[in-house]
């Protein structure tokens, strides 16, 4: 069954026959998996290993799109997409928040597409060029690639990144450091490089000879003056990318550059660059990714590098999919830290139709002593509550997944 299109007359039944029509589409993805998970003991031996079963929702969502032809090649569009909480969990990512995913309003014409709202960055959009080796979402994109910096109380290599008023504790992969300023730690502005951004304006060019460029800017709406107890804040960010596809769509490559002003240190801008791409040989599709970020701290720079390879081998109506990715040790002003990790996964997914896919696979993350990489969406770690495991804990998962799109 194809996606249902509900055609609504903008004017009522008595309106003029020439009234414009708006197309409204309801869509969604339900993606769940049954997992057998194992968390190894931490290096200090203070937290024992744990094996458990889990049901995970992988970015299940429901959305509404609308488009209206304005004439002269111009159209207006809007989209509201919401995370669908398909399970009860302590992970806030599993709690539905209205318009919590890509949601915006825009105008599109022969000159391109411009829109306002909350949307994935041009940086994040490059994942589609290479990440063809993942079954379910247990792959590098939600674990290693792009995961050095996250928001709220999640790990950050430069600071504790806990809400304002908290006391300093173990800080991200480095195991120590100052608390981030409240404008980042509160989660309202500080976004990881791979994330969607809010309070933002986006432009996407038309495709010329296989080339397209995108740019996005997140406004400094959270700019604040200094007080007796807080530091002046003027955070904003930009993200831009250029992509090319050719040879009948078999070859693709893209590059992106981000600047995150005052996300880590007031007066400083964190930067990142990445290159992704791939080639479909027919018998196998290969994807590659490399990225490097620089975070600004008072004592100097913290540099991070990640890279990965992915493969998809078609077999019947499905494909064998696998990935291998590495996060290198952080390079800090005092030297490198034992903060790297390796991720690998292998699996097979079978497409019953364009809408329904079933998969099975195995995935693992080997964390160094100071690293605690994990997959986005896991419900709990060794001790049953925290989604992110303790530093040095390795994680492995056998899973069976199912996707249905409507």
Band (pLDDT 50/70/90 cuts) for residue 8 is very low
Q: How many domains does the chain have?
A: 1
Q: For residues 330-342, give the mean pLDDT.
A: 87
146 close to 192: Cβ distance less than 8 angstroms:
yes
Residue with the bigger pLDDT between 373 and 290: it is 290
- Check which CATH number belongs to the domain holding 193 and give it: 2.40.160.10
| Full residue range of the structural domain in which residue 132 is found | 5-405
- pTM of the shown model: 0.84
365 close to 378: Cβ distance less than 8 angstroms:
no
Residue 215, sorted as left (phi over 0), alpha (psi -120 to 50) or beta, turns out to be: beta
pLDDT at 1 over 50: no
Q: Is the dihedral of CA 305, 92, 154, 265 positive or negative?
A: positive
pLDDT digits 0-9 by tens, 378-393? 778 888 877 778 889 9
Tokens of 220: 């400094």
Band (pLDDT 50/70/90 cuts) for residue 35 is very high
pLDDT digits 0-9 by tens, 160-184? 444 333 333 333 333 344 444 333 3
208 close to 245: Cβ distance less than 8 angstroms:
no
């Amino acid at each position: 069954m194809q996606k249902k299109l509900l055609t609504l007359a903008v004017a009522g039944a008595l309106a003029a026959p020439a009234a414009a029509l708006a197309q409204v589409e309801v869509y969604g993805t339900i993606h769940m998996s049954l997992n057998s998970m194992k968390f190894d003991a931490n290096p200090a031996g203070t937290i024992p290993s744990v094996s458990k079963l889990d049901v995970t929702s992988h970015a299940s969502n429901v959305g509404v799109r609308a488009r209206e032809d304005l004439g002269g090649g111009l159209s207006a569009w809007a989209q509201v997409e919401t995370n669908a909480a398909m399970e009860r969990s302590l992970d806030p990512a599993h709690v539905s928040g209205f318009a919590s995913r890509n949601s915006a309003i825009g105008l599109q014409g022969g000159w391109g597409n411009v829109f306002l709202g909350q949307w994935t960055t041009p940086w994040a959009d490059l994942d589609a060029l290479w990440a063809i080796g993942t079954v379910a979402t247990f792959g590098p994109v939600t674990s290693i690639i792009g995961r050095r910096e996250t928001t709220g109380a999640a790990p950050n290599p430069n600071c504790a990144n806990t809400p304002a008023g908290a006391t300093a504790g173990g800080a991200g992969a480095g195991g120590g450091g100052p608390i981030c300023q409240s404008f980042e730690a509160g989660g309202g502005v500080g976004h990881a490089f791979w994330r969607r951004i809010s309070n933002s304006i986006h432009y996407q060019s038309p495709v010329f000879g296989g080339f397209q460029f995108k740019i996005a800017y997140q406004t400094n709406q959270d700019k604040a003056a200094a007080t007796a107890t807080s530091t002046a804040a003027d955070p904003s960010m930009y993200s831009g990318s250029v992509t090319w596809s050719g040879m009948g769509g078999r070859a693709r490559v893209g590059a992106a550059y981000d600047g995150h002003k005052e996300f880590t240190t007031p007066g400083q801008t964190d930067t990142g660059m990445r290159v992704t791409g791939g080639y479909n040989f027919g018998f196998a599709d290969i994807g590659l990714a490399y990225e490097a970020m620089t975070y600004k701290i008072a004592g100097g720079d913290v540099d991070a590098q990640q890279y990965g390879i992915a493969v998809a081998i078609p077999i019947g109506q499905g494909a064998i999919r696998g990935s291998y990715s590495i996060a290198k040790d952080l390079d800090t002003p005092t030297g490198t830290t034992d903060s790297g990790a390796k991720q690998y996964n292998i699996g097979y997914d079978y497409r019953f139709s364009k809408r329904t896919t079933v998969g099975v696979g195995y995935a693992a993350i080997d964390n160094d002593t100071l690293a605690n990489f994990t997959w986005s969406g896991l419900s709990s770690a060794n001790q049953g509550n925290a989604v992110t495991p303790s530093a040095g804990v390795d994680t492995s998962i056998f899973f069976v997944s199912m996707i249905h799109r409507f």
